[in-house]
Amino acid sequence: MDNLLRLPDSRAKRRVVTFDRRELRQLLALYSARVATGEWRDYAIDFRPGMALFSIFRHTAEQPLFAIAKAPGGGARTSPWTVYAGPRRLAQGDDLEAVLSIFDRRLRVLAGG
């Protein structure tokens, strides 16, 4: 029983992705402008393995209206920034400012029914 077996640490392989100060400033500027118009009311920041999410809500108890994902290093064919409305991908790109420009079009979520 003297032989010890070292198991690989799965936490070491996970890369933590976060928003830097400039990115947070851009995200919160967009968010605060829409809060001022009464369109959005809450947000959440979530960190998952290999991805950071900024989710935007109309009401806290609902699903997010939009989610802005930062997932760098996803491969040569994927861009680090993606904007989602539910499962639908609205925009994708290498530059946060360019991806956020989709909100300049005054996107609105319509209730299905």
Q: What is the pLDDT of residues 1-56, one digit of tens each?
A: 566 656 555 555 567 899 999 999 999 999 999 999 999 999 999 998 889 999 99
- Partnered with residue 47 across adjacent β-strands are 52
Determine the pLDDT at residue 73.
75
Start-to-end C-alpha separation, the chain:
66
d(CA 99, CA 31): 14
Determine the pLDDT at residue 23.
96
44-48, 58-62, 91-95: least confidently modelled range: 58-62
In whole numbers, what is the pLDDT of the chain averaged over residues?
Answer: 84
Asked if 100 contacts 34 with a C-beta cutoff of 8 angstroms, the reply is no
Asked if 70 contacts 89 with a C-beta cutoff of 8 angstroms, the reply is no
Asked if 81 contacts 68 with a C-beta cutoff of 8 angstroms, the reply is yes
pTM above 0.85, yes or no: no
- For the cut 90, the answer to whether the pLDDT of residue 106 exceeds it is no
Determine the pLDDT at residue 4.
60
Cβ neighbours of residue 52 closer than 8 Å, sequence gap 6 or more: 17, 18, 19, 45, 46, 69, 70, 71
- For the cut 70, the answer to whether the pLDDT of residue 58 exceeds it is yes
- For the cut 90, the answer to whether the pLDDT of residue 67 exceeds it is yes
